[in-house]
Structure 1
């Protein structure tokens, strides 16, 4: 769950890494820590910098609570559910490294089972964000506006 201090957390920890990756990341094969790879997948799939999603709606950025505000926020909710599935499979999506390539604005996943699960979470999210509406009104949306009703994660995946 997000805390009211999520902006401080994002600025002090995630933002420098996200800026580095989106500013200096390449669209060919990369291998970095999980959060940086998500940032690269966002840039590959949407053409946007990952920073635009930090604090968007109720689910984009660290944590998540309440009811998603729009299509973009639903993409973030589904991504959170996918990461939850990865953790249930014994994978750690936050620090797990994986290799991927960017081909025709799409993330292509490679390598072992955990890497593939996490990469597919990021790939599906980037694809979802590419087609979703983006409403600037929901950037840095306050937590108290998210409410107390939560959608259920119903994420399961058959990974070979």
Structure 2
């Protein structure tokens, strides 16, 4: 998660902006780092829903953020978006991530949706406490029940 394909640094009079164009999930990692100040690596095995997959009941608020993000990506995939490979452009300024693109083609709509999914997840993670005991939570501790339905994720954050 630490390699970027391209990083351009733009300077303005009052702000320093970082403009990223990276692939797929690496963009999520960048947005999480921008908003939370924490490396996305810290969330790779966090709880039951952060990282790849997800099962059982989310452990805490941060895990619910990841569940909600999984649901958001699920909606994007239902619309034909490639959540693991689509890329989008964004900026990070003062711990705020902003999507920057035109929304005319199908890919642009997907880019917009994925950027919003990632931005909302990072905003949610910023507000949620990071509890170290969940940072390497084993899957078997999540139970083997089906994944929690997406409509439930909005009520627990």
2:104 is the alignment partner of 1:84: no
Residue 20 of structure 1 is matched in structure 2 by 3
Structure with higher strand content: 2
> How does 1:59-74 map onto structure 2 within 5 Å?
59-74=49-64
Counterpart selection for 1:43 from 28, 33, 38:
33
What is the total number of aligned residue pairs between the two structures?
136
TM-score by length of 2: 0.81
Residue 154 of structure 1 is matched in structure 2 by 151
Moved over 3 A (4+): 24-27
Structure with higher helix content: 1
Residue 12 of structure 1 is matched in structure 2 by none
How far did 1:40 drift? Answer: 0.5
Structure 1 unpaired stretches of 5+: 1-17, 156-160
How far did 1:144 drift? Answer: 1.1
Contact 1:72–1:129 under 8 Å retained in 2: yes
Structure 2 unpaired stretches of 5+: 10-16, 102-107, 153-157
Larger radius of gyration: 2
CA-based RMSD of the aligned residues comes to: 1.8
For the structure 1 residues 129 and 25, does the alpha-carbon distance in structure 2 shift closer, same or farther, using more than 3 Å as the test? farther
Contact 1:58–1:65 under 8 Å retained in 2: yes
